[in-house]
Amino acid sequence: SLTRSRHSRHLGACAAALARFNRGDTGDTGDSGDLAVAAEQLRVARRELGRITGHVGAEDILDVIFRDFCVGK
């Protein structure tokens, strides 16, 4: 079903972010152990879980506003 597929996709993205956090992956920055990058991976994981549980934060609302409307252009 669509819901299970959506849940699976979000759980996969959450698990990937947590794996990057655990490994200390920094993406393209090359700064191993950077706390800002670690915090970003945790934020991504939380956001993905929130998409399953229905938790919507201010950041999610701002993302929609700036993605869907021409605010500040």
Residue 31: CA atoms inside 13 Å, Cβ hemisphere, count? Answer: 6
pLDDT in tens, 12-28: 999 999 999 998 865 55
| Whole-Å CA distances, 11 to 29, 30, 41, 66 | 25, 27, 14, 25
Asked if residue 40 is part of any domain, the answer here is yes
pTM of structure: 0.65
In a domain, 6, yes or no: yes
Judge whether 73 lies within some domain: no
Position 8 in a domain: yes
Residue 21 counted as domain residue:
yes
52 backbone dihedrals φ, ψ, rounded to 5°: -85, -45
The Cα 60–Cα 55 span in angstroms is: 9
- What is the C-alpha to C-alpha distance for residues 6 and 67, in angstroms, rounded to an integer? 21
Flag whether pLDDT at 29 surpasses 80: no
Structural domain span for residue 37? 2-68
Contact by Cβ (8 Å): 38, 24? yes
Q: How many domains does the chain have?
A: 1
